[in-house]
Chain A
């Protein structure tokens, strides 16, 4: 573990030297630099929580809060999502009425590909999420789309994440289509803009407010946020998708949340997932 940390630090420093940008840039399409953002975010958390390994941020709040970590490790001994993954596998392998299946819609038969989602789809001119393509696959084969928040879609997504465990997250922002960068910037802006009756941005809680008690809760660092979705939340008593979580958190600023899979939520997922490049997929996860 020590070696990894040193290595990561060394890489971080080397990258930082290349990637540092002026404090007043990165906020418009001309200057936004996703790689510089990613390095800056890692550096920020490295100095906030010097005792935490960067690779451990996929474990959310438990990466930085030792007191709740023990409880969580006990929870993970008998993972509450275990049955859901098995059900997801069954659903994934059950053919549609036309005889085709999910495996026909995805690269590599849908196995071990979670780390590439969400991605910029040039033909459609939009960010595609895994859940979106699960439903598109159904519709293309004459099946009704699934409800977005939980249930079968979360189980199928959980199984697909399971087959991708430990693969490094690899979000690409193709340079041959400026709309991809614009989508990234839109997601970044959403994350940092204050909103709602409480005038809070995502960053207020998950960057500046990470591991600082806000009412009864400890918000996790945003680094690592998407790696373990869908998640089994004890509070929900079941699996839920990332956009279900987005809606809940959006509401926490006392805003009216948007709908599942709207463009700006997908752009937000694109931005957040890019921040996690190099960390590994560890979905599905379990959280309090």
Chain B
């Protein structure tokens, strides 16, 4: 949880660093090259290649944790839907997560909820990106 907070803080400050490589770029290239559970350095600090949702899912597989992450994922997906950027499969993944939790498969439920939450966050990010870049493919 600590880690997520630092990431969020760094992201918020990112523009002032005016770094050659943005945090996003550094994260993505390290993730692509080394996969999960790798540590990389960016602007003199260490970061994990795990997505914030993977960090959230890496908790004890208990009913409470599973239901908690499902609730967070649902809220995030609602946010994406409100912006009109909900992805096609997310609702189904959330249902599967709930089913897994009901069946006592808490590890599976956590992983599915993490995936749904990731989809939702990406949809929200897409919306933000679209606000300033949608015009790029308009013929002039």
The answer to whether B87 touches A197 (Cβ under 8 A) is: yes
Q: How many A-B residue pairs have CB under 8 A?
A: 68
Distance of A197 Cα from B126 Cα, bound (Å): 10
CA of A41 to CA of B139, assembled, Å: 6
Q: How far is the CA of A208 from the CA of B136 in the complex (A)?
A: 11
Per the bound structure, the CA–CA distance linking A23 and B137 in Å amounts to 11
Which A residues are in CB contact (< 8 Å) with B140? 21, 23, 26, 40
Which residues of A are interface residues toward B (Cβ below 8 A)?
21, 23, 26-27, 37, 40-41, 43-44, 188-189, 192-197, 199, 201, 203-204, 207-208, 251, 254-258, 264
Q: Take A26-B138, A203-B138, A254-B87 as given contacts and tell me if A197 and B119 are in contact as well, using a CB distance cutoff of 8 Å.
A: yes
Q: Which of B87, B129, B134, B139 contacts A256 (CB 8 A)?
A: B87
Contact A254 B88 (CB under 8 A): yes
Contact among A37, A207, A251 for B88, CB-based, below 8 A = A251
A256 to B138, CA, bound (A): 24
A203 touches B87 (CB 8 A): no
18 further contact pairs, Cβ within 8 A, besides A27-B135, A40-B140, A195-B126:
A27-B138, A40-B138, A40-B139, A43-B139, A192-B138, A193-B130, A194-B126, A194-B130, A195-B123, A197-B119, A201-B134, A207-B139, A254-B87, A255-B85, A255-B87, A256-B88, A256-B90, A256-B91
Chain A residue at minimal CB-CB distance from B137: A203
Cα separation A194 to B86 with both chains bound (whole Å): 12
The answer on a CB contact under 8 Å between A26 and B139 is no
- Which of A41, A197, A204, A251 has the most chain B CB atoms closer than 10 A to its own CB? A197
Residues of A within 8 Å of B88, CB to CB, are 196-197, 251, 254-257
* Residue of A21, A192, A195 contacting most chain B CB atoms (<10 Å): A195
At the interface, yes or no: B84 with Cβ under 8 Å from chain A?
Answer: yes
User: How far, in angstroms, from A257 to B91 measured CA to CA in the complex?
Assistant: 12
CB neighbours (8 Å) of B136 from chain A are 192
Task: Give the docked Cα–Cα distance between A207 and B129 (Å).
Answer: 20
Flag if B129 contacts A194 (CB, 8 Å): yes
Dominant secondary structure of chain B at its interface with chain A: helix
> Which parts of B59-96 form the interface with A (CB within 8 Å)?
81, 84-91
Whether the Cβ atoms of B119 and A255 lie closer than 8 Å is no
* The 8 nearest A-B residue pairs measured at CB: A44-B139, A193-B130, A193-B134, A256-B86, A27-B135, A254-B88, A23-B140, A203-B137
Which residues of chain B are near A194, meaning CB under 8 Å?
126, 129-130, 134
Q: Which of A21, A199, A256 has the most CB of B within 10 A?
A: A256
Most B Cβ at <10 Å: residue of A188, A193, A199: A193
CB <8 Å contact, B139 and A197:
no
Question: Are B138 and A195 in contact (CB-based, < 8 A)?
Answer: no
Which B residues are CB-close (under 8 A) to A188?
A: 138
Give B83-123 as 1s and 0s: 1 = Cβ < 8 Å from A's Cβ atoms.
01111111100000000000000000000000000010011
Contact among A21, A40, A199, A204 for B126, CB-based, below 8 A: A199
Q: Are A264 and B84 in contact (CB under 8 A)?
A: yes
12 contacts between A and B (CB under 8 A): A23-B140, A41-B139, A195-B123, A195-B130, A201-B134, A201-B137, A254-B87, A255-B85, A255-B88, A256-B81, A256-B88, A264-B84
